[in-house]
Structures are given as C-alpha cells and as structure tokens.
Amino acid sequence: MAVLFGTGRCFALGAVLASMLLAGPALALAPEHETRRLMLATEEAVVAENWGEAAEYLNRLQQLEGEKPADYFFYRGRVMLQSSHLNEAQSALETYVSRAGAEGAHYQKSLQLITSIEKTRKQNALAPQAAGESEQVAVIEPAGEGRIESLRKLYLADSDREALTLHINSLLELAGWRRDQAVVRLDRPADAEYRIGTQGDEIQIQEIKRAEDGRILRSTEPMSVFGINPRVEWRCEAAVSTCWVYDPRDGSRLLQLAANRERAQEIAETLGQLIRTLQTPSGS
C-alpha cells in the first residue's frame, strides 16, 4: 500500500511539474527591465564583435515601447557601420552624441567614428565607379535589389517586407520631431514620432504625438498600396526646422520629421521601396 501511495504521489507531482513546464514562465520582465537586459546583451555582443548577435538584440530592443537609453544609439551605430550602412550609422551616432553629450561614456569614440564615416563617404564619392567597386557606394544611394539583400542580412529578416519594415522603423526612431530644437532632453521622447507596420497589402502608419500638456495622442492610419505611386516625395523646411514626407496618395503631409535631409530622404525612399514590395504578386 505504501508503494502504491508513493507511486500515486509521484504521479501527481509529475503531473504538476509537467503542467508548470508547459505553461512556461509565469511572468515576463517589465519593459524597463527587458530593455536593460537586452542592452547588456548588446554591449557584450559588440565587445565580443559578434555583430549578428548584436543586431538581433537591437532589433528586439526596437520593438519595445518607451524611450531607448542613449547607449542604444551608439551600439546601433556600431552595428550599422560594421554592415557598411553609412547613412544609418552616422545618424545613430549623431543621435547618441546629441542625447548623451560630452559626459557620455562613448562620446569621444562616437566623434571619431563620425569623422571616419565622413572620410569614407568622401573616398567613395571620388572613387571610380567600376563594377567591382560599386558595392560600398550603393549603401548611400536609393535602395535597390542589392540594398534590400543587404538589409535582410543586417536585420536577419526572412523577407524583403520584414527587412524594409525593420529598417524604416530604425530610421524613424532617430527622426522624431521636437518643438524645442535647441535642447534635447534625455528624459523626454520626441513630440511627434511614427512606427510602420504591414498587414496584407496595407501599410499601417502609427502616429504618436505628445501635446504640450503632456497628453499622448495615438492614431493609426491604413494605407492600401493598390494603385499608388511608389515614388514618395519629401522636403525639408529650414525656417521651421522640419522635414516632411508626403503621402503618395494625394501629396498631403504624412510624416513630420526632425530637420535632417539625408535621413528624411532615406525614410522616403525606404517607404517607397516597401510600397513597391507590397505591390508585387509574391507579396514578399
């Protein structure tokens, strides 16, 4: 009887343990703790020069809600530079410098990398456009097939759609518009920012605006790609320190961005490439 009772108890305990294992973790980390965890993992990967691993952690960080720490932009700049994405690397490093300031742990290194990127771009501009030398120059030109393949490798994406979506959100993360252009507070997100998603043949554009009284206003607008021109216009207005990306459906203002011409151009071109990709029969 004792053996049978013991067996029953073991069976019952085993059932409980099995149900706990199947249920998985009871609680997930709060966003602020998950951000810190992924930041530590990113730092370790960059120090070890495991660039693919670092890119994976950065992509996961990008999906989290809330303002990213300044170091996030330094590490994204390092990963982008390693992948020869010069525009994005420079934008990320400049964002780090503006947010962290001279007191930032990576301030000097960021300035050195920005100078190095400028030198590389000048060398690329002066280099002969021979077939064997065109790959590096292509990273600062409009996205083409080779560009998308490069983005798929950078973001470890399974499709062109996923790579372009991750890329445009990475760019938008650096392009938030602020009323006060003189001071960028580390503890305050941008006053206007955007996130892009896709569903079927639609692009979902989420706008997040912060009113002067602190209220956060969120809205999502679907954009069907059927029948629209994938050439997306953009323009910067120095007088109001703003760049605009225009709606390809009717030419109205669509995205209000910080005053950075190269970044605005890259966002417009990437949005156009995403539209074109969704218009293809494969829907890749």
Residue 276 confidence class, pLDDT cut points 50, 70, 90 = very high
- Distance between CA atoms of residues 111 and 97, nearest Å: 8
Domain boundaries of the chain, sorted by first residue: 32-123, 153-279
Predicted confidence at residue 21, as pLDDT, reads: 40
More confident residue, 21 or 280: 280
Tens digit of each residue's pLDDT (9 = 90 or more) over 78-105? 999 998 888 889 889 998 998 899 999 9
Name which of 32-41, 211-220, 221-230 the model is least confident about.
211-220
User: How far from 120 is each of 59, 77, 84, 137, CA to CA, in Å?
Assistant: 26, 15, 10, 10
In this prediction, residue 182 has a pLDDT band, given cuts at 50, 70 and 90, of low
Is residue 58 a contact partner of residue 71, using CB atoms and an 8 Å limit?
no
CB 80 within 8 A of CB 110: no
